[in-house]
């Protein structure tokens, strides 16, 4: 069993002595511990995926959120199950933070019939409407207009639901992002745009892709826009998103929040990619030095046994699940 706290780093990668000496701890409160537990649950789940992947049991490519968990738990803290969330193909964290169950998620990754979508969606197309997880997509930016449509439907049906869409910095380069911002602003729809900015589009940095600042460009549509630099801090993310959600429930207007973060693993898959030459281990270690899931090793040790039991049960559920029957091949396919 791997333990982030026991490894004094992440995924068995020990921090350098210099970085370990700069690790910063946050002040514990009951809210801190609740969000910490949720973030740790996401990380340990994905660490188990890393262990399982070489055995070819997971029948899906995986885009891991390790390093970015604080964004998911901070965003989802103030949402209800009825609020509607759409996300990217890096969506395990948001599915879990929104209230999704681990057994069905693991079974989906195994390609089993008892998975969220009968084993046919895999990692990149998660959807669980019962908890307001409306869908993820492998096509960059494609869920942004879906969220705007959900917001329009909520307005017309007077349900009071908020729509939230999460996407990466690369998605802001797609035309549909701007069309969606314009439509949401024009009709003043209750949709919260969240840019989960890890400053990478696969292997390419923003300065090679963008001639604009994301937050400034959003502002040209008249949408109130905020930026969070501390994307490792789930309390900070939760505070800003919570205040924004509260304002949106009052006035029903669109908002935008850009959250800086870092992914620790490669773009797709369970490995590291520091040898690829587009980023350094030192850059990521500077982020890890502020990561509560690394800094607070004592709390990690306290919480890990119960979480690992839950994950073990999810793995057992997946391994016992049947494969989809051939007759299900075209069912639910549009």
pLDDT per residue of the chain (334 residues) written in tens, 0 to 9: 444 444 434 444 566 766 676 676 777 899 999 999 999 999 999 999 999 999 999 988 999 999 999 999 999 999 999 999 999 999 999 999 999 999 999 999 999 999 999 999 999 999 999 999 999 999 999 999 999 999 999 999 999 999 999 999 999 999 999 999 999 999 999 999 999 999 999 999 999 999 999 999 999 999 999 999 999 999 999 999 999 999 999 999 999 999 999 999 999 999 999 999 999 999 999 999 999 999 999 999 999 999 999 999 999 999 999 999 999 988 887 7
The pLDDT value recorded for residue 2 is 46
The pLDDT value recorded for residue 331 is 87
Find the distance separating the first CA and the last CA of the chain, reported in whole Å: 41
Q: Which of 320, 324, 311 has its CA nearest to residue 52?
A: 311
Q: Please list, in sequence order, all residues whose beta carbon lies within 8 angstroms of the beta carbon of residue 225, skipping any fewer than 6 positions away.
A: 215, 218, 219, 255, 256, 257, 258
The pLDDT value recorded for residue 27 is 79
The pLDDT value recorded for residue 196 is 98
The answer to whether 151 touches 121, Cβ cutoff 8 Å, is no
The answer to whether 169 touches 214, Cβ cutoff 8 Å, is yes
The pLDDT value recorded for residue 18 is 67
Q: Which of 201, 200, 199, 181 has its CA nearest to residue 191?
A: 181
Q: Please list, in sequence order, all residues whose beta carbon lies within 8 angstroms of the beta carbon of residue 119, skipping any fewer than 6 positions away.
A: 59, 107, 108, 110, 111, 112, 113, 321, 323, 324
Rounded CA-CA distance 281/264 in Å is 9
Task: Give Cα 11 distance to the centre of its chain.
Answer: 18
Rounded CA-CA distance 139/85 in Å is 16
Report residue 80 as tokens. Answer: 């209800």
Q: What is the pTM of this model?
A: 0.92
């Amino acid at each position: 069993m791997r333990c982030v706290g026991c490894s004094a780093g992440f995924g068995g990668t020990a921090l350098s002595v210099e970085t370990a000496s700069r690790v910063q701890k946050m002040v514990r409160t009951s809210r801190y511990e609740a969000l910490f537990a949720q973030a740790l649950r996401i990380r340990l789940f994905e660490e188990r995926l890393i262990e399982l992947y070489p055995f070819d049991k997971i029948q899906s490519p995986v885009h891991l959120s390790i390093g970015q968990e604080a964004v998911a738990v901070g965003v989802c803290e103030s949402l209800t199950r009825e609020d509607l969330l759409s996300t990217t193909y890096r969506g395990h964290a948001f599915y879990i933070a929104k209230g999704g169950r681990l057994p069905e998620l693991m079974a989906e990754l195994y390609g089993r019939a008892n998975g969220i979508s009968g084993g046919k969606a895999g990692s990149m197309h998660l959807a669980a409407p019962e908890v307001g997880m409306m869908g993820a997509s492998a096509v960059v930016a494609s869920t942004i207009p879906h969220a705007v449509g959900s917001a329009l439907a909520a307005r017309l049906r007077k349900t009071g639901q908020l729509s939230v869409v999460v996407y990466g910095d690369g998605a802001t380069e797609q035309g549909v992002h701007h069309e969606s911002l314009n439509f949401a602003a024009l009709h003043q729809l209750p949709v919260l745009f969240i840019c989960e900015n890890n400053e990478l589009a696969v292997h390419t940095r923003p300065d090679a892709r963008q001639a604009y600042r994301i937050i400034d460009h959003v502002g040209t549509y008249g949408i109130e826009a905020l930026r969070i630099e501390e994307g490792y801090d789930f309390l900070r993310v939760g505070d800003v998103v919570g205040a924004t959600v509260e304002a949106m429930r009052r006035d029903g207007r669109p908002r935008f929040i850009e959250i800086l973060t870092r992914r620790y693993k490669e773009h797709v898959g369970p490995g590291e990619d520091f040898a690829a030459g587009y980023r350094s281990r030192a850059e990521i270690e500077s982020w890890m030095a502020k990561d509560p899931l690394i800094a607070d090793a004592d709390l990690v040790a306290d919480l890990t046994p119960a979480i690992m039991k839950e994950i073990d049960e999810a793995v057992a559920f997946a391994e016992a699940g049947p494969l989809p029957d051939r007759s299900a091949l075209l069912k639910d396919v549009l």
